[in-house]
Amino acid sequence: MKRFIAASLAVLTLAGAGAASAQDWRRDHDDHGRYDHGRYEARDRAYEQGRRDQARAEDRRDRREYRRWVRGQRLDARYRGGGYSVSDYRRYGLRAPPRGYRWHRVGDQYVLAAVATGLIASVILADR
């Protein structure tokens, strides 16, 4: 009986050692057998983070450039400057703005907004 138990323990011990050595060696070592943990993961993580940052920046740029203005919104202060205002509104087929309002061309839209507050009264798509 003792021999049977001893033989069983020896077989189980050898089977356990064989299973432990059957790990995937590529996970922790490179082709030359050296330990190489985390060398490529950090590089890949930095690459992916850079791609995400670039995608976020492009998304912000796209949202800013293709914004659709709606009556009742406030026109951003950066668009109320002289560079965006339309002084020759008849040339573009626009009606005369009421007192206290001014036409602004923002992207592919003409926006009629209050001079003091920037409150949008009308939006017309521009002909391109």
Specify the pLDDT at position 59. Answer: 66
Tell me the domain boundaries of the chain.
27-66, 77-125
3-class SS letters over 33-80 = CCECCCHHHHHHHHHHHHHHHHHHHHHHHHHHHCCCCCCCCECCHHHC
DSSP 23: S
* pLDDT tens digits, 16-75: 655 555 555 555 555 555 555 556 666 677 777 777 777 776 666 555 556 788 899 999
Segment 2-14 shows an average pLDDT of 79
List the CATH code of the domain at 77-125: 3.10.450.160
CA 70 – CA 78 distance, rounded (Å): 17
* pLDDT tens digits, 88-120: 989 989 999 999 999 999 888 899 999 999 999
Q: Virtual CA dihedral for 39, 43, 46, 47, nearest 10 degrees?
A: -160
- DSSP, collapsed to helix, strand or coil, labels residue 13 as helix
Specify the pLDDT at position 97. Answer: 93
- Give the residue, 36 or 124, on which the prediction is more confident: 124
CA 56 – CA 80 distance, rounded (Å): 27
